[in-house]
Amino acid sequence: MKVTLKVWRQKNAKAAGAFKTYTSPELNPNMSFLEMLDVLNEELSNRGEEPIAFDHDCREGICGTCALVINGTPHGPQKGVTTCQTYMRSFKDGDQLVIEPWRAGPFPIIKDLVCDRKSFDRIQQAGGFITVRTGSAPDANSLPVPKEDSDLAMDAAQCIGCGACVAACKNASAMLFVAAKVSHLGLMPQGQPERYRRVKAMVEQMDTEGFGACTVTGSCEAVCPKQISLDFIARLNRDYAVSLLK
C-alpha cells in the first residue's frame, strides 16, 4: 500500500511552520505508524533531505512519548491505543494522512512533530512526596485497602502522561491528566497525609503553566489511550474544594 502524507515541518520553535506533502514508499499494512515514518525518513535521508523529527521511545504504548495528531485525532483513529500501536492497516491504500504535533500553548513545538511537554513534569513535581516509612518492606497486610479503591487507583495510575487529553480539548485543559495523577495517590492510604496539599499545589501549577479550564466535553476521555474516566475529574474537583477549606 501507499499513502499521501501531509506532515507539519518546522525547523525550530521560532521558525514558521508549514505542511509538506510526501508520497510514501511501498508499505506493509502490518507495520506500525512509527515504522512507516522510519521508512519515509530513510528515503528522505537517501535523497539528501532532512528527516522528519518525531518523538518515540518504548514503541509499546507504555511511555507516552509518541505524540502525534493523525487526521485531526490524537494518536489516530483507533480507541485505546497510542500512535506507536496504530498500524497502517487502519488506513486504506491511497489515503491522505495529515500528521501534526500536539497543538497547545503549554506544549510549544521544538521541531517538526516534537513538542515540549515538560509542563506535565512540573505539575507532577508540584505534587511533591508521600509520607511513608522507608527501609524494610512493610507487611503486605499492614495497610488494608478496599478492593474498589485499589481498582480505581490502578485505573488512574494507568495514565502515561502523553498529553492526548490536552491536544483534543478545545480549551487545552490538562484536567484529566492532573485528575489521574492526584487520584491514584489520593485513593491509597499512603497518599492521605499530603492529599489536600497535593491537589491544591498541582491544580495551581496547572493554571500557572497556562492550561485551559475544563468544560467537561468528554473529548479527553474519548482520545485517552488508557481510557481514563471523566469520573476522576469529579473526584479531583471534590478534593480541590476541600483543600480550599483547609
Residue bearing cell 492532573: 178
Q: Tell me the average pLDDT across 169-196.
A: 94
Average pLDDT over residues 130-151: 79
Q: Is the pLDDT of residue 97 over 90?
A: yes
Backbone φ, ψ for residue 97 (5° rounding): -115, 125
pLDDT score recorded for residue 129: 83
CA dist., res. 38 & res. 42, Å (int): 6
Q: State how far the Cα of 185 lies from the Cα of 221, in Å rounded to an integer.
A: 20
Q: How confident is the model at residue 135 (pLDDT cuts 50, 70, 90)?
A: confident
pLDDT digit string, tens, across residues 16-70: 999 999 999 999 999 999 999 999 999 999 999 999 999 999 999 999 999 999 9
**What percent of the chain stands above pLDDT 70?**
98
Q: Which of 219, 206, 189 is nearest to 75 (CA)?
A: 219
pLDDT: which is higher, 139 or 9: 9
What's the pLDDT at 136? 72
Contact predicate 100/164, CB 8 Å? no
pLDDT of residue 69: 98
pLDDT at 130: 81
Higher pLDDT, 134 or 180: 180
Q: Tell me the DSSP string of 130-166.
A: -----SSPPPTTSS---HHHHHHHHHHHT-----HHH
- The HSE-up count of residue 205 (CA atoms within 13 Å, CB side) is 20
Percent of the chain surpassing pLDDT 90: 90
Q: Which CATH code is given to the segment(s) 118-243?
A: 1.10.1060.10
**Confidence tier at 140 by pLDDT (50, 70, 90):** low
State the span(s) of the chain assigned CATH 3.10.20.30: 4-111
List where CATH 1.10.1060.10 sits in the chain: 118-243
Q: In whole angstroms, give the CA distance from residue 132 to residue 135.
A: 10
CA nearest 172: which of 212, 209, 139, 138? 212
Residue 56 has a pLDDT of 95
To which H or E segment does residue 111 belong?
Answer: strand 109-111
Q: What is the pLDDT of residue 141?
A: 73
131, pLDDT greater than 90:
no
**Residues 244, 246: Cα–Cα separation, whole Å:** 6
CATH T-level assignment (fold) for domain 4-111: Ubiquitin-like (UB roll) (3.10.20)
